[in-house]
Structure formats: C-alpha cells, structure tokens
Structure 1
C-alpha cells in the first residue's frame, strides 16, 4: 500500500521541506496535513520556475492569491503552513520573503442539516453505487459514508483508519488522524457493525495491520477529491440539489447532522445540557465544550421546544454571543 513519501517533493526547497517535516513529526505533529500543504507549495515553486533557494516578494504576492475553489479555512491553512516553513528558512539565513498572515474570518455560514427524507434518499443512492472497474465500492462506500453520518467522523479521520485500528469484536474504531492530534474512539451501532463485518469478510484478508481500510482499486488511499466526487454524484442520484462548494450539501454536513440529532436524542431522553454537552464534545473530539456549544445553538434553532428547555442554561454558561465557526 502507498504511504506518504516526502521524497516526491521536487522543488529547490525539497530537502529543507523534508528536514522541516522531520522536526514537526518529532514534536508530535501528524505528517499528513503538513506534507500535503507543503506539496502544494513545492509544486507552486516548480511552476514559478524557482531554481535557486530564493523566495522573492513577487513570489510571496503570487502565493497569497486565493484560488477560486478554495474555502476560507483551506486558504488560511495553506498560507499558515507555508509561512511557518518560510520563517524556518529565514532562521537558517535563506533569502526568503515571508508573506503577511491572513486572519481567518468567521462567517454566519450555517451547515446543511439533512432531513430524514434526504437521508433516506442519499443512502438508497449510495447503497446502489457500483462500477465494474472497482466492484468493492458497492460495499465500501456504504460503510464509509455511514461513518460520516452515524459517528460524525471527519473525512480525513475516516480515510486514515487502518486495519489495526478496528476492534470488530467490540465494535470500536480508533481514530488517529484527528484534527487536534489526539486519538479518540468511536462505537459502531449494530447495523453499521454488521456492514463493517461484511466488508471485512470480503476485503480485509488482503490487508496488513498498517494498511488503510478504505483503498482505491489500485491499492492506494483514497484522495479527498475522489470522495467529494462520489458525494456529488450521490446527491445527483438522490435528487438532492448541490449548490456549490461553499453552499453544499457537503460531506462535512453529515458531521453537523450527527451532532444535531445526537443533541436532540439526549435532550428528548431527559438529559440536561450540563450532561449532554460534555458527552458529545468528547465524542466529537473537541478541545472543550466551547467548541461544541455551536451545535446546541444550531439544534435549538431547528427545534424551538429544545430552546425553551436549554436557553437559560446556555446563556448562563456561554452568554448570548452567537458563533458561526463549524468544524
């Protein structure tokens, strides 16, 4: 199976990029996000025709121009990692210009919460997905996309699951490639566990412990772009309008849907906010309940009766400030 190979970096800064990656990994950071962001910078330098280890102000100005397909968060992430790398080069006395930071601006964007009807149509479509070139997709994608919906996993977390991370006897999955670099565990419901076991019986005998469980027909880990394409095709087959990259519905909106429905179930079962909020915060892998309270506010906006139950508690704990940063 193909692993991340820093030696595919080819620009004049490639050796220093590898040194920088080694330093980040030695300090406990995941290589994945840093590597792919630096790979973009590496390709940029090649396309700019930079053949000596000099990065000019003109280069810096060209680098900070936004790609029309980039969201705000991805744009700021790309600039941030490259700026840190250039700062590293500057400390080693390279002649490099360091671009100014571009602060991330929160928005009033609200994620798409899939309705029951949309959910049914979507998974009817994904369950019918089939290609003659990759027959395993017909059992692979129903499992993958149900992890987004049933467990609230992020795309990168899901694509990063290795065979050794699964405990099918207990129905537990370890997530290692997490946003906050802290592994966590998710529990599979009975139906999803049954699907995972069926998938395992047909495919896992080919894998070693370090292999990713979701791989393309050529044995490589799926790219995010490939899964985005499958998602958009599924929306079309399900008759759910796709409004664009920033409008969705997005894959990540399954995570938001999971959070909202989980809150609703807990509140409906009689749990109060003080109990339900830390549980969901831990399960989602948030650093604190302050990262999770936006989901409770979103749930309250969709279900007014929950707002009546929780409004006083929310204002007591968090105040009345609205937040719009959904991750």
Structure 2
C-alpha cells in the first residue's frame, strides 16, 4: 500500500520501488515518507531534471546541522535503493555510494527506573484534549502502556486494527511481526480492563475507524508523530535528556 502521494518526475520509479519492496514482504512505510521528502527536494531544486544525477543525490546526502550518523544514514538509504531500482529496470541513475556516513555510533539503550516510569506515564496521562486531535489524550497513555507491558514494537502497536484486539479474552493478534510472521499476545487483566475503558471512549469519537489507536484523522499513527509525542511526554516528565529513546528507529 502506497501511503504518500507522489507527483514529481520520479513518481513512477518511486512507486515501482515501493511496490517491489512490499511484494518482498517489507512494509516500507517509513521509507515512503523519506522518499516523499526527497521528491519535494527534487521539485524545489531540480524541477526540470528527469535523471537521478550525482549532483542531486550527493546534495541530498549532505549532513544537516546537528544531524547524527543514524539519521543521515536512514535518510540516504531509500534514495540509494531508488537508484539501484532504476538501474535494474534499465534506467540510467546515480547510486549513492556506501560508507558516506562513516561508522554508526553504537546506540546505548535507556533502562527506566521506577521513578522515571512513574513520571513518564503521569506525563502521558496529563496530555490535554485538543480539537485538532480529539483522541490523542486517550490514545497515547494506553498505547505507551501497551508497548511497555507487552514488549510490542511501535509499528505493531500503530498497526493494530480494532478486529485484532479481543477485549473479552485479552488477546492481541499481531500481523506481520518481525520476520514477517503473525503472533498472538495475551495482555494482563489490568491492561485488558484499561483497554476496555479506552475503547468505550474512543469509539464515540472515531466510530468508523478500523484502527485501535487512531490518529487525528482516524487513520494509522505515523512513526514521526508517535516519536514526537513520546519526546513530549519525556520532556514533560522532567527526565534527563541523555539517551532519550527514538521510537521512530524501533519501527
């Protein structure tokens, strides 16, 4: 499924790459967002260019202020894959070389203390209602608790459909998990009770949404929006910013 709308000179090739990746079993969701950003970059700076050139790609691959190796690498990879895809189908294209970002800094996980967990979830519970996103203050506390108590990956929680959650038995059906396999998870009684209360409240706001955790439009949460909200809760909790996790990289 192609979630972004493409309209530039590379539209056919970008959509072809996405379809190829998804046919191989990859969700390729976050990469779509990056390719959409690359397309906007091309329209702004190379509106007449129909070839994926070295100048275009290497300018995209320039490190931005305060950009770490991981962020730069994630931004480059889909464009490198686009060049390779175009070459495979017989179109002349430049491929961004490997090794531009150097060695990645080893990520050090953050282990929450009991006090940090208390402060974080208290901050999540204190999110206020906003008309622009009428269910966010309900979604966020429950989604983050589900991530914590069930060990879900963020993408697994974001993709949960209403039909995947059995509030009677307390089971979650996780589709296309790591390794492209499905699995079933049983939540605790406390979590099941919380989900039932949550569902009664959100169904009155997004009665027709297929997603258990709907965004402001009743659709799936984007990784960036979830990561932004996580950081907002983290900062509101007053937890030191060192090694703040990035949920977008856990998708």
TM over 0.5: yes
Q: Distance in 2 between matches of 1:181 and 1:70?
A: 31
Q: Distance in 2 between matches of 1:4 and 1:88?
A: 17
Q: Distance in 2 between matches of 1:75 and 1:37?
A: 11
Is the Cα–Cα contact under 8 Å of residues 80 and 101 in structure 1 kept in the other structure?
no
Q: What whole-Å deviation, never above 9, does each CA across 1:244-299 have from its counterpart, x for those lacking one? A: xxx21x254xxxxxxxxxxxxxxxxxxxxxxxxxxxxxxxxxxxxxxxxxxxxxxx
- Gaps of at least 5 residues in structure 2 are none
Q: Distance in 1 between matches of 2:171 and 2:38?
A: 37
Structure 2 residue corresponding to 1:82, chosen from 68, 73, 79: 79
Is the Cα–Cα contact under 8 Å of residues 57 and 79 in structure 2 kept in the other structure?
no
- Check 1:156–1:72 CA distance in 2 against 1; reply closer, same or farther (3 A cut): farther
* CA deviation after TM superposition for structure 1 residue 106, in Å: 4.7
- Check 1:180–1:48 CA distance in 2 against 1; reply closer, same or farther (3 A cut): farther
Mapping of residues 172-251 of structure 1, within 5 Å:
172-176=171-175, 178-204=177-203, 206-208=206-208, 211-243=210-242, 247-248=243-244, 250=245
Matching of residue 93 in structure 1 with residue 79 in structure 2 = no
Mapping of residues 1-150 of structure 1, within 5 Å:
4-6=2-4, 8-68=5-65, 70-102=67-99, 105-133=103-131, 134-150=133-149
* SS at 1:147 equivalent: helix
Is the Cα–Cα contact under 8 Å of residues 214 and 221 in structure 2 kept in the other structure?
yes
* CA deviation after TM superposition for structure 1 residue 239, in Å: 2.3
Q: Distance in 1 between matches of 2:109 and 2:93?
A: 39
Aligned to 2:162: 163
* CA deviation after TM superposition for structure 1 residue 98, in Å: 1.2
- Gaps of at least 5 residues in structure 1 are 253-325
Mapping of residues 234-313 of structure 1, within 5 Å:
234-243=233-242, 247-248=243-244, 250=245, 252=247
* CA deviation after TM superposition for structure 1 residue 110, in Å: 1.7
* CA deviation after TM superposition for structure 1 residue 53, in Å: 2.0
Q: Distance in 2 between matches of 1:242 and 1:99?
A: 33
Q: Distance in 2 between matches of 1:178 and 1:71?
A: 28
* SS at 2:211 equivalent: coil
Figure out how many residues of one structure are paired with residues of the other and give that number: 247
Is the Cα–Cα contact under 8 Å of residues 119 and 237 in structure 2 kept in the other structure?
yes
Aligned to 1:276: none
Q: Distance in 2 between matches of 1:61 and 1:251?
A: 26
Q: Distance in 2 between matches of 1:149 and 1:45?
A: 40
How does the TM-score come out when normalised to structure 1?
A: 0.66
Q: Distance in 2 between matches of 1:30 and 1:73?
A: 20
Q: Distance in 2 between matches of 1:140 and 1:92?
A: 43
